[in-house]
Structure 1
Amino acid sequence: MNLFAVSFFGHREVDDPFVIEQQLEAIIRELLHTKEYVEFLVGRDGEFDQLVSSTVRRCKRTIRDDNSSLVLVLPYMTAEYRNNEQSFHEYYDEIEICLESAEKHFKSAHQVRNRSMVDRSDLVIFCVEHDSGGAYQTMRYAKKAGAKIMNLPDVPR
């Protein structure tokens, strides 16, 4: 089976969530129709992550749900996950704790997790609107690593 991995990164707050959601839906729809199996890798660190997760779930429900998985990648074991494990497993198809980042100091764990996600992705989708923050740092890393990237605010609407 040909696995196509896509990871998503964005700022905690999204300026125009309706437009971003439309862009995400078009991309996810295309991937579900054209790829044999898609692994959607997401975090849970802000508005963009929640927008991605809800859009993937909706597309799986309305378009096709037999060739993809929504995978939450945590940088380390969190109290939120530990205390709500059943709810997490009902929402996400899979939950992973990134081994590389789980062993790091919590202040650097998110960036280590993000780089690990980029390294295993065939496509990395960003929603980066300013030149600061973790998502911006991850986008710089992805460019330097030669990853195939797409930044939604730069895509013609």
Structure 2
Amino acid sequence: MDVFTVSFFGHRILEEWKDREIEEVIKMLLIKYEYVEFLVGRSGDFDQLVSSTIRRVRREWGSNNSSHTLVLPYLTAEFKNNEEILSKYYSEIEFCEASINAHFKSAYQIRNREMVDRSNLIVCYLKNDFGGVYQTIKYAEKLGKRIINVAMK
């Protein structure tokens, strides 16, 4: 089975909610590809918006041809305290091997690059020309990854 992998990156605080735009992208991918692996984080507004949209679309359309995977940079207190709930919310939960022992300040960027490396498509909410999301998208551009910036829609 061909797996098409999509990673999502966005600012912790959103100026505007782009749930319709994200929903359109998710639906298009589910129609176009045999199986879609959605990789997400859990660090702010964009991550929460993306995950709730993925869950809603998978519930409405069925979830047989997709997975919703939380990729954490390391074991967090939030995960330890909420493992059962999180395990029900996501299809899968992964800990990024490359960042699991890294210093916490660099762990997210290491995790983000690993997610980019395994992705066919990057969906982002990027409005700033600085910060972690900006660095991640620059890395994706350098690799020639296809990028959809929903902040510009």
Deviations 1:52-92 (A, max 9, x none): 00000000011121110100000000011011110000100
Task: Name 1:13's counterpart in structure 2.
Answer: 13
- Give the CA deviation at 1:154: 2.3
- Give the CA deviation at 1:93: 0.5
CA distance in 2, matches of 1:154, 1:139: 14
1:1-157 pair list within 5 angstroms: 1-17=1-17, 20-155=18-153
Secondary structure of residue in 2 paired with 1:84: helix
Give the RMSD, CA atoms, in angstroms.
0.8
**Which ranges in structure 1 are unaligned for 5 or more consecutive residues?**
none
Look up the equivalent residue of 2:51 and give its one-letter code. Answer: S
CA distance in 1, matches of 2:62, 2:16: 27
CA contact (8 A) 1:14 1:47 kept: yes
Count residues with an aligned counterpart: 153
- Give the CA deviation at 1:38: 0.5
TM-score w.r.t. the length of structure 1 is: 0.95
CA contact (8 A) 1:5 1:121 kept: yes
CA distance in 2, matches of 1:50, 1:153: 16
Q: Percent identity?
A: 54
Secondary structure of residue in 2 paired with 1:100: coil
Secondary structure of residue in 1 paired with 2:98: helix
CA distance in 1, matches of 2:80, 2:13: 25
Deviating beyond 3 angstroms after TM superposition, the runs of 4 or more aligned structure 1 residues are none
